[in-house]
Structure 1
């Protein structure tokens, strides 16, 4: 059961999010948040240190909320359709929570949060599944960066535009560009050449128990070279 301090902290975060949603970042002052939460301003400093600490906690709450809403299919029937759905979910979250999303993603320091890192692990898991099936055109890490950058860029660009200049084609165009950049139309392991097979085998290495740690590291290095050559 949450402690009294935890419940108070959550009430303050929710009050800050409400102010952020209704009035933007400038509306989130320690005095306004304290009043909305039914507290005295010094309580904010005791709980969060300062306004930046409060904003960090709000961003962390946003990352945690987004993570909780993710659906992960460990064995999707169509990996590319699953990739598109994951991208769409990220964009839809940003459009549904514009002020919170902007706070979460416009300051690099906030992407060091525990919930953000957990969300990236979910994304990397999807990349490993794509790689093991021979779908990835690029390295797993680069693929994850491209996916994250295009979704974030799409949302922040949309939010920065006047309403009369917003074209929904921005999302479909960026999503399909992302899919083309990181995946093959067919699994590369069915094609001739070592690169796709090397990526697929390297993705499966952590699950192999027949090799020692040293053997896996050495084989991973060799496979990495083959993947890069492709």
Structure 2
């Protein structure tokens, strides 16, 4: 790689990291191109040279953040034959993930309605959570009517706002997972 290309890539990376830190610190809604440029130590024009618009820089930021903070891997609980153990393992993994990435999720959930560039990535993550909920529900041998209720409950349990509400109430992690299991038991009729 030539020195010029290397310098351009380093500048681009500084812009992406500056955006990521600003999103986490002040939120996407308050993050301006000027603030990104200042935090990255470049001119506004330099930001625009690397990213034609806010959506492009937000997409690069999201990709970078997810590469550093990948969501829980369904393979980590997929080996459990018992659907209840699978559920508990998935909830534990999601709650540990949310605990380690809380700042970004809080600001993203707060700002998503007002920042169009954030809506796509948030919808993608919601789709991922919905797929995990459907897969976890499918492991239970239940009728279609109960399956809808179980899937809705599991989706609610896995959603960041549910975890965050419990976190704000200072509920310990093991109790959070136990509560989730109680909700599941209730809808399963156990």
Q: TM-score range by the shorter chain?
A: 0.5 to 0.7
Query: Within the alignment, does 1:146 sit opposite 2:153 as a pair?
Result: yes
Alignment partner, residue 101 of structure 2:
97
Residue by residue over 1:94-126, the C-alpha shift from the partner in whole angstroms, topping out at 9 and shown as x without a partner, is: 221222112444426646438526734751563
Report the CA distance between 1:179 and its aligned residue. 2.2
Q: CA RMSD in A?
A: 4.0
Query: Within the alignment, does 1:30 sit opposite 2:2 as a pair?
Result: no
The structure with higher relative contact order (CA 8 Å, sep 6+) is 2
Q: Is contact 2:105–2:160 with CA below 8 Å preserved after alignment?
A: no
CA distance in 2, matches of 1:80, 1:7: 47
2:16 to 2, 5, 13: 13
User: Which moves more between the two structures, 175-184 or 10-19?
Assistant: 175-184
TM-score (norm 2): 0.63
CA distance in 1, matches of 2:127, 2:98: 18
Aligned length: 176
Residues 123 and 71 (structure 1), Cα distance of their counterparts in 2 relative to 1, 3 Å cut: closer
TM-score (norm 1): 0.55
In our comparison, the structure showing a higher alpha carbon Rg is 1
Alignment partner, residue 155 of structure 1:
163
Local SS of the residue matching 2:139: helix
CA distance in 2, matches of 1:58, 1:24: 14
User: Structure 2 regions of 5+ residues with no counterpart?
Assistant: none
User: Structure 1 regions of 5+ residues with no counterpart?
Assistant: 186-230
1:130 to 124, 139, 158: 139
